[in-house]
């Protein structure tokens, strides 16, 4: 197929690449850019493991084509931490034991980050609704909800304590 040239800013770096029209954004991120923290957990667009931010809003990157990201800004889980420091939300996931196998975690964190941007102090119900599009097979969601609440409340410890976790 004829390829198109796109320019996308991913995790603060600008990339210009030739892509085929049918290449999914998630494939572009993983296969072309090596951003393998963004996962593929289904082929039915319902697991949320592929969640990234597009111009600051969460999207499932398996539901759009790379060409649709042309001229836009994408943040992946790999771009969330700054200067090697986990965000309070990432620390909260660690401290609240909000992950077991970890497969859902990058998507959960990206979705939660977007939720907290829109609603810095969500209720438990709002968190559950906000994460409805992200599936976790392991945790039963309780600790994930607790982690998002802890991040919202600012009750995580300083990042130096968990830098290696």
Which residues would be at the binding site for ligand FES (CB under 6 A)?
A: 40-42, 45-50, 60, 62, 99-104, 136-139
Residue 160, classified by CB atoms within 10 Å of its CB into exposed (0-12), middle (13-18) or buried (19+), is exposed
Shortest Cβ distance from residue 84 to ligand FES (Å)? 24
Residues 107, 92: Cα–Cα separation, whole Å: 15
Shortest Cβ distance from residue 157 to ligand FES (Å)? 22
> Please, which residue, 43 or 83, has the CB nearer to ligand FES?
43
> Please, which residue, 37 or 48, has the CB nearer to ligand FES?
48
Shortest Cβ distance from residue 146 to ligand FES (Å)? 14
Q: Please, what is the end-to-end C-alpha distance for the chain in angstroms? A: 44
The token pair at 18 is: 């030739």
> Please, which residue, 12 or 97, has the CB nearer to ligand FES?
97
Shortest Cβ distance from residue 144 to ligand FES (Å)? 8
Pair 101, 134: CB distance under 8 Å: no
> Please, which residue, 22 or 85, has the CB nearer to ligand FES?
22
Q: 3-state class of 69 per DSSP?
A: helix
Query: What residue has token string 């539901």?
Result: 63
């Amino acid at each position: 197929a004829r390829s198109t040239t796109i320019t996308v800013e991913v995790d603060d770096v600008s990339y210009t690449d030739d892509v085929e029209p049918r290449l999914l954004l998630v494939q572009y991120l993983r296969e072309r850019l090596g951003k393998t923290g963004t996962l593929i957990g289904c082929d039915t667009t319902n697991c949320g493991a592929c969640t990234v931010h597009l111009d600051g809003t969460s999207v499932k990157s398996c539901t759009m084509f790379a060409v649709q990201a042309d001229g836009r800004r994408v943040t992946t889980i790999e771009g969330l931490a700054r200067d090697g420091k986990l965000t309070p939300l990432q620390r909260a996931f660690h401290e609240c034991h909000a992950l077991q196998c970890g497969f859902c975690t990058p998507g959960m964190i990206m979705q939660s980050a977007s939720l907290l941007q829109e609603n810095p102090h969500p209720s438990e119900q709002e968190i559950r609704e906000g994460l409805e599009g992200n599936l976790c097979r392991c945790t039963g969601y309780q600790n994930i909800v607790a982690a998002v609440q802890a991040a919202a409340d600012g009750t995580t410890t300083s990042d130096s304590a968990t830098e290696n976790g």
